[in-house]
Amino acid sequence: LRVRKATIEDAEQLSSLLKEIGWFASFRDHSARESTECVKKQLALGLADDSHSISVAEDDHGKIIGYVSVHWIPYLFMSGREGYVSELFVRETARDQGVGGQLLGGVQAEARRRGCARLSLINLRNRESYLRQFYVKAGWHERGEAANFIYPLP
Ligand SMILES: CC(C)(COP(=O)(O)OP(=O)(O)OC[C@H]1O[C@@H](n2cnc3c(N)ncnc32)[C@H](O)[C@@H]1OP(=O)(O)O)[C@@H](O)C(=O)NCCC(=O)NCCS
């Protein structure tokens, strides 16, 4: 297993990984080529500057088996940035073998190097990762007093 920073050439593999996860309607409804174009566009934004980090885990054959995406957000009321982990996905066939833990550990190490104040993420309560306490076991604390809002846009 090798963890490295993502490059724009990873778009196709990342797109196939997301399609395989099966959670996202846009990946079900679009062709592989359309999905790859969409991932490429977002990936380019994520690679454009130092306020995002996208890392991939690949196996011995160079196949991407997981990835993590973090955004380093400055808050005026905090002394260091918050790292917001927006995506952490491991292919189903590669789960439960330490890949997710290694990707998350890499984020925690980078946050320390960057002098961040904290990390945060959203984990839906009906997900297996929540039910199996993946983040709690990695030392994360659930903020029970917080409500998570979204404002949907067309
Ligand atoms: C959650 C996830 C990132 C963990 O990565 P992983 O490589 O499977 O996990 P590791 O092997 O490093 O760690 C093992 C722990 O991961 C969790 N886990 C393992 N398999 C899992 C699965 N199929 N689904 C969800 N969580 C799983 C458990 O907490 C497990 O600990 P346990 O065996 O004591 O219950 C990965 O399973 C995944 O991508 N799941 C689907 C997407 C997801 O839920 N992403 C995170 C929230 S958006």
Average pLDDT, the chain: 97
CA of 100 to the centre of ligand 1 (A): 6
Does 108 score more than 90 pLDDT? yes
Ligand 1 centroid, distance to 35 Cα (angstroms): 25
Q: Is the Cβ atom of 5 under 6 angstroms away from ligand 1? A: no
Ligand 1 centroid–CA 154 distance in Å is 31
Considering the entire predicted model, what is its pTM?
0.96
Does 88 contact ligand 1 (Cβ within 6 A)? yes
> Which residues, including other chains, have CB under 8 Å from residue 128's CB and lie 6 or more apart?
none
For 11-63, how does the pLDDT look when each residue is reduced to its tens digit (9 = 90+)?
999 999 999 999 998 888 899 999 999 999 999 999 999 999 999 999 999 99
Nearest CA to ligand 1 atom 8: 95
